[in-house]
Structure 1
Amino acid sequence: MTRGFSVSLKRYKLRYIALTVLIIAAIFVKEILIDIVYIEKQYEKNRIITPWGEKIKSGNLSVDYTIEQALLDVERLGLNTVNVPVRIDIPSLTANGAVINEESKKKAIQLIKKLRFRGINIILEPYPYIKNGELYETQLNPSNKNEWFTNWEQEVLAPLIREIAKPYKVYALCIGSNFDQFEQEYKAWAGIADFVRSAYPGRITYKTNWWYTAEWDTQKNGLYDTYTAKLNNPVLEKVDFISVAAYFELTDQETNTVKNLVSSIYSTQIFQRHQNVYDELKKLSTQWNKPVFFGELGFPKRNMAAVHPWDPEPSKIVNGQEQANGFQAYKEVFEKESWILGFSVFAIGKDDEFKNYYPSDQSISVINSWYR
């Protein structure tokens, strides 16, 4: 009897353990399902639908962002998307190799989890960080392009897709940003786009840098070469939308009214170029039948913000209103265009005396009202 009782007791314990495991598993699955439903509801709440289609209202994070400030900025600016950078360390302007910064990747995952729970979409960007941030990606020119593209595909994009983009279902992956010096390596970039498309089910984009043309360039060469190359870049056929870092030089004045800036988007005043930024962007969209997204839209909080928007300190004179006027001008020209997918404010996530692009109070008011 004692042996039989012992066997029965063991069976009872095993059943109890099994039942406990099942209950815990059921609770765990229930919590996951609740989270999924919550995220879906939050996403629906945060979608921006206009008479001109669904729009992306995003912000680019500074590489040194803090999670707390990023979440605060999402609320203050009324964003439905965040451009999250993962720092990619590159030692020099001629380097053929790039390495994912592990701390940056970990921070990105932490933030993405919080953003997804709030229903905020993610654009994931491998952010070129050259010589500890001292140099710009627009000047990067690898000495061995084949080696560089192999490294970019296998050591940068593949791990980001595997470890972040797919498991956290990011909205879009940016396959490259502002690589002016070798953007015309069309075959290689097409290969990168094909690889990403085969490995990642979400949207993909490529971010091209701003350009300028001039009315007085009558031979349609020189200044026009850059724009023509962008207009005919076949990699744009392979992306879901075309991202543009929109630092177009508009005027030659230290301060501007919104009306003057709006006029300058249709005919730039600086050096009497009379570049029609609006028309050139629309042609880029029409050429490939893809929407254009302002992947970076920023102005420094300074006088001359519209002269050299790409320069974080074009003047020593702080002017938050001049920055806001730039955002307002773009809003008035592009907000109602169906071929414009939206914009991403450069830059949020960190606010100190060195962050000249961080939106002023006046700019926050303008950005918040965009696609309201």
Structure 2
Amino acid sequence: MPKMMLLYRFVVCFFLFFFITACAQKKDASKAKVMKEEKVLKINGVSLVASGDTLLQQNVMPLKEIGANYATIMPFGFIKSLDHPEIIYNQQRQWFGETTVGVRQYVELLHKNEINIMMKPQIWVWNGEFTGLVEMASEAEWLQLEDSYRNFILDFAKVAEEEKVEIFCIGTELEKFIEHRPEYWRTLIAEVRNVYKGKLTYAANWDEYKRIPFWDALDFIGVDAYFPVSESQTPTIDEVKTGWERWKVELKSVSEKENKKILFAEYGYRSVDFSGKEPWKSDRSMNSVNLEAQSNSLEGLYKALWQEDWFAGGFLWKWFIEHKSVGGLENNQFTPQNKPAQKVVTAFYSQQ
């Protein structure tokens, strides 16, 4: 074979090898970039409690300092009792942050700070009873409640669309309402999608979410994640991680069945003894202060769940706007503000 032909083949093979190698490296780099972007998109959120005043930049800075990339805005509607069909909302006597004007102001400032939003309109029963027990006594009252709730949700869904809110939550812990009127909820979801183009979820209580019949119509499986994870007065991090194992299996199974990621619409622990035993408790029967229990419970949750592929992230319950004047070493409530738990949250949120 002539030398020129050999040389030609050598050159062609060399450049072909170089081209294939370069393409492979580019593909690997692109894949790594996508994986990095997916990691950044983990939702590291807080549940922002509305205030009677406007949101200021100084109120937003603590959120950025802990690494939060999402915040829940929670406008409330009020009903007089568990069997009352009328929802009252967007009233002048309500706190500013619960009105449509206040919600817009909060969202706009948070967006300017590159913090994404989940809008989560919620019902509050005036005497503080559990919303999961809202139940009407007659067909006429059910229809009245449906109309009232539809107006409540659609009004805020329109605001969410106008303000380009990233996630909208259609309801929170309304088990009896869903059990009795499942078709209404599918209709409501369709109506919301007509006015709002972002992602949708529903916030189901931890012992309710497996029975929700319309996950297929939503984008996330929303769970208020007050799962019992420890019987100890001061649970260790490892105890909490172990306590999550049974729930992880269950959550992953539901995620795979519905082909949706799990989103913790709420999660958190009080700074009290036995914080992981009945985490949903907010009454005054638990009045100790145990800062270590709260810190360990949160760290155990993060280490157990935060890197799971089927897990989208979550919203810490709860965060108050006036950061400097809330929480603290004598506080036994859910907020981690100005407690050791705040450092735990920061450590995990900042590394995502």
- The alpha carbon displacement at 1:315 in A equals 2.8
- The alpha carbon displacement at 1:192 in A equals 1.1
Whole-angstrom distance in 2 between the partners of 1:149 and 1:88: 14
For residues 253-297 of structure 1, give each alpha carbon's deviation from its aligned partner in whole angstroms, at most 9, with x where no partner exists. Answer: 21111111111112xxxxxxxxx1111111111111000011101
One-letter amino acid of the counterpart of residue 90, structure 2: N
For residues 130-164 of structure 1, give each alpha carbon's deviation from its aligned partner in whole angstroms, at most 9, with x where no partner exists. Answer: 21x623322322333332122211x21221122x2
2:309 is the alignment partner of 1:347: no
Mark the CA change 1:150 to 1:51 in structure 2 (over 3 Å): closer, same or farther: closer
Out of 138, 144, 150, the residue aligned to residue 147 of structure 1 is 144
Does the residue aligned with 2:157 lie in a helix, a strand or coil? helix
Whole-angstrom distance in 2 between the partners of 1:98 and 1:311: 25
Which residue does the alignment assign to 1:368? 346
Whole-angstrom distance in 2 between the partners of 1:146 and 1:308: 35
- The alpha carbon displacement at 1:187 in A equals 1.2
Tell me if the contact between 1:89 and 1:101 (Cα under 8 Å) persists in the aligned partners. Answer: no
Mark the CA change 1:325 to 1:52 in structure 2 (over 3 Å): closer, same or farther: same
Please, what is the CA RMSD of the aligned residues? 2.2
Tell me if the contact between 1:83 and 1:123 (Cα under 8 Å) persists in the aligned partners. Answer: yes
- The alpha carbon displacement at 1:86 in A equals 0.6
Where do 1:251-330 residues align within 5 Å? Answer: 251-266=230-245, 276-312=246-282, 313=284, 315-330=286-301
For residues 15-38 of structure 1, give each alpha carbon's deviation from its aligned partner in whole angstroms, at most 9, with x where no partner exists. Answer: xxxxxxxxxxxxxxxxxxxxxxxx
For residues 96-122 of structure 1, give each alpha carbon's deviation from its aligned partner in whole angstroms, at most 9, with x where no partner exists. Answer: 121223342132222111111111111
Mark the CA change 1:49 to 1:295 in structure 2 (over 3 Å): closer, same or farther: farther
Which residue does the alignment assign to 2:130? 136
What TM-score results when the alignment is normalised by the length of structure 2? 0.78
Does the residue aligned with 2:118 lie in a helix, a strand or coil? strand
Whole-angstrom distance in 2 between the partners of 1:280 and 1:99: 37
What TM-score results when the alignment is normalised by the length of structure 1? 0.74
Out of 60, 84, 90, the residue aligned to residue 47 of structure 2 is 60
Does the residue aligned with 1:370 lie in a helix, a strand or coil? helix
Does the residue aligned with 1:83 lie in a helix, a strand or coil? strand
One-letter amino acid of the counterpart of residue 206, structure 2: W
Whole-angstrom distance in 2 between the partners of 1:365 and 1:245: 23
One-letter amino acid of the counterpart of residue 330, structure 1: L
For residues 179-224 of structure 1, give each alpha carbon's deviation from its aligned partner in whole angstroms, at most 9, with x where no partner exists. Answer: 122232321111111111122111111110012xxxxxxxxxxxxx
Where do 1:145-224 residues align within 5 Å? Answer: 145-153=142-150, 155-162=151-158, 164-184=159-179, 185-211=181-207
Unaligned runs of 5+ in 1: 1-47, 212-225, 267-275
Number of equivalences: 296
Whole-angstrom distance in 2 between the partners of 1:318 and 1:52: 35
For residues 58-88 of structure 1, give each alpha carbon's deviation from its aligned partner in whole angstroms, at most 9, with x where no partner exists. Answer: 1012244763475143123211111000111
Identity of aligned residues (%): 22
